[in-house]
Amino acid sequence: MDEVLRWTDAVGQAELVRSGAVSAGELLDAGRDRIQAIDPLLHCIVAHMDPATDPGEQAAAQFPGVPFLVKDLALEIAGVPFTEGSRWLKDNVSAHDQELARRYRQAGLVILGKTNTAEFGLSPHCEPALHGPTRNPWNLALSTSGSSGGSAAAVASGMVPMAHGNDLGGSLRYPAAWCGVFGFKPTRGRVPMGPEYGDVASGLAVEHALTRSVRDSAALLDATAGPSQGDPYWAPPIERPFLQEVAQPPGKLRIAATATPNSGQHVHPDYVRVFEETVDMLSGLGHSVHEAHPEPLGRPGHQAVRNVYGGAVSWIEAYWTQRMGRRPEPGEIEPFTAANFERCRPVTASEYLLGMEELQRFSRRLAGFFEDFDVWLTPTVGWPPLPLGTLGGTEAEPLRGEKEAGRFLMFDGEYANFSGNPAMSVPLGVDSDGLPVGMSFLGRFGDEATLFRLAGQLERAAPWANRKPAALARALSPSSS
């Protein structure tokens, strides 16, 4: 396994091809070799793909021959299995390409497979009954979180420099935090979801990626951003390419910061420590950091969340029943999914729309908060990775995983989805066991530029590229067998 290429980011790999140091074909072969060596240990990939395009034909593209993976949720590729982690969909094969897949290929990326996800992306883990669990490369007995856990683990392990994911309530950022990679959620409407979807849950869901470097995330967003014909949401235009923003100084930012959850959960002491270290670093970089947080959702807001997410879950069941031409048979969906479908069916259209209106009112209040602050900082999650098997439901206790998730989901990551604002999880520390700790930054609507500038500054001040998962290295070592 070529260790230099393994830990070279996508922009760096592309530069090697353009300089003639390696060919696009060699880049692709190295990616295949890494997947063959590493994936049996982690189980990130649920469908392998052979590229139809000679990578040599992509030499002038942004990422010529760079190996890439896409999450098996929402993003369809013609002729490839599309299961969304469900036994109900185990024989389903996509008949078309999503626009985003086309843009990936146009950028020169070579898609080598689809990554594991929770069933329909409904849980913050990556352990579907259909495919089995993805293992965290930092400790193979622990969860990756989710639902983009397969992509996060693939990037953290060095299989690929970046991989697609999506985010309806934190599904890019939570696995980024537990796997020690950079997870960026763009502004609503920045990346298209068509032609199959105009939006998902009235714009709560977005598409982008998990990466090891900040510049990879920015460059990939440059390659994929922009509305597609008929899109219901259009993000504000940008002043310059996001990749250029990464090297720009962010100036003196007004940063609100809190490590106190609204719901009173206990934050792990190591996470408080990394948060405090981050505050000190930000202050040392010249930023103005204040203990502050947005106005909480309140009781009407929490009821709105239940109805909006309930409506989205009900839509998932109705959508796939229509598309598959039948309802799921007994045993074809997991206990948590079955219980979730049952409790969400009673949500009416009026309740869903009333809930969306309440969340839109909250979003306007959040916009007012950002008149005083540029960025809001919290830990991404509040607790280290949980053991595999903890976050799934059982026949006896189908909603067990939902209760267990409250142990680490405590910092209102879904605010970014309600408002459409950009957000990111940055791997800024480690806990006492050497596991990654991510910090979350929420920005203004349409202002990815400030987040990329800040992320670039943090990456230079506290680089994380040299932190590699030792547990995976031991598992890969011949002496460990």
pTM strictly above 0.95: yes
- Asked if residues 111 and 69 have their Cβ atoms less than 8 Å apart, the reply is yes
The answer to whether residues 163 and 155 touch, using CB atoms and an 8 Å cutoff, is yes
% of the chain exceeding 90 in pLDDT: 95
**3-state SS class at 437:** strand
CA atoms within 13 A on the CB side of 327: 5
Range in 9-18, 29-38, 58-67 with the lowest mean pLDDT:
58-67
Q: First-to-last CA distance in the chain?
A: 18
User: How far out from the chain centre does Cα 67 lie?
Assistant: 18
Structure token pair of residue 380: 């991404």
Q: Are 89 and 324 in contact (CB under 8 A)?
A: yes
Identify the CATH assignment for 3-480 out of 3.10.110.10, 3.30.350.10, 3.90.1300.10, 1.25.40.10: 3.90.1300.10
* Average of per-residue pLDDT across 377-397: 97
The pLDDT value given to residue 59: 66
- Which of 49-58, 164-173, 240-249 comes out lowest in average pLDDT? 49-58
pLDDT of 312-359, one tens digit each? 999 999 999 999 999 999 999 999 999 999 999 999 999 999 999 999
DSSP at 71: E
Q: Are strands 375-379 and 254-257 parallel, antiparallel or unpaired?
A: parallel
- Among 134-138, 162-166, 260-264, 440-444, name the one with the lowest average pLDDT: 260-264
* Alpha-helix runs per DSSP H in 48-172: 99-106, 149-156
Which tokens is 221 given?
């967003």
- CA–CA gap between residue 342 and residue 83 (Å, rounded): 21
Q: Which two tokens stand for residue 223?
A: 């390659």
Question: pLDDT tens digits for 268-299?
Answer: 999 999 999 999 999 999 999 999 999 999 99
Checking if the pLDDT of 481 tops 50, the result is no
Encode pLDDT of 205-216 as tens digits. 999 999 999 999
Query: What residue has token string 């592309």?
Result: 14
What confidence score (pLDDT) does residue 67 get?
97
pLDDT grade, residue 264 (50/70/90)? confident
Q: Name the residue ranges covered by the structural domains of the chain.
A: 3-480
What pLDDT score was predicted for residue 51? 81
The length of the chain in residues reads 481
Which residues are known to be catalytic? 71, 147, 171
C-beta separation of 68 from 160 below 8 A: yes
pLDDT for the residue numbered 163: 99
**Half-sphere exposure of 200 toward its Cβ, with a 13 Å CA cutoff?**
23
Angle at the Cα of 153 from the Cα atoms of 149 and 159, rounded to 5 degrees? 135
Above 60 in pLDDT, residue 54?
A: no
pLDDT of 223 reads 98
Task: Kindly tell me if the per-residue pLDDT of 480 is higher than 90.
Answer: no
